[in-house]
């Protein structure tokens, strides 16, 4: 199944945006949810994810301390709050539920998706310098 991301836009360096990930017909809190991004000419990378059972979160190094992933069960939505945005954050952002999560003890160390997985609607984030 595919999820829909929204909330992107044009923002100046140092600004903030909050992305939303929504689904219809099934509860997102049954699944671990991840945010991915793909910048022009670059491979898609996993940015952040949140586990559905433990609530554990993971952030790629480049966004630690700036991005926060969270859930709102009542709204069936997962958010990505992005603060202190940088030009290198410019990308199309997608969210997804069918993740492959790698754990070490009780911590998430990385996450991916199957290479042939379909992607839902993404949202463009453009950060100007």
pLDDT at 98 over 80: yes
Q: What is the pLDDT of residue 41?
A: 94
**CB burial string 56-87: b at 16+ within 10 A, e below:** eebbbeebeeebbbebeeeebbbbbebeebee
Specify the pLDDT at position 1. Answer: 67
What is the distance between the alpha carbons of residues 33 and 86, in angstroms, rounded to a whole number?
Answer: 24
pLDDT at position 18 is 98
Rg from Cα positions in the chain: 14
pLDDT in tens, 60-87: 999 999 999 999 999 999 999 999 999 9
pLDDT at 23 over 90: no
Give the residue with greater pLDDT, 47 vs 24: 47
- In this prediction, residue 2 carries a pLDDT of 76
Residue 104: pLDDT over 80? yes
- Find the range with the poorest average confidence among 23-27, 85-89, 99-103: 23-27
* Backbone CA torsion sign across 61, 42, 112, 12: positive
């Amino acid at each position: 199944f595919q999820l829909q991301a929204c909330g992107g836009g044009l923002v100046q360096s140092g600004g903030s945006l909050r992305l939303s990930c929504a689904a219809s017909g099934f509860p997102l809190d049954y699944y671990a949810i991840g945010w991915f991004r793909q910048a022009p000419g670059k491979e898609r990378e996993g940015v952040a994810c949140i586990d559905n059972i433990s609530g554990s979160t993971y952030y790629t190094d480049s966004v630690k301390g700036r991005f926060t992933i969270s859930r709102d069960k009542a709204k069936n939505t997962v958010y990505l709050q992005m603060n202190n945005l940088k030009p290198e954050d410019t990308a199309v952002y997608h969210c997804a539920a069918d993740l492959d999560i790698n754990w070490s003890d009780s911590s998430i160390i990385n996450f991916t998706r199957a290479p042939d997985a379909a992607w839902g609607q993404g949202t463009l984030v453009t950060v100007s310098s």
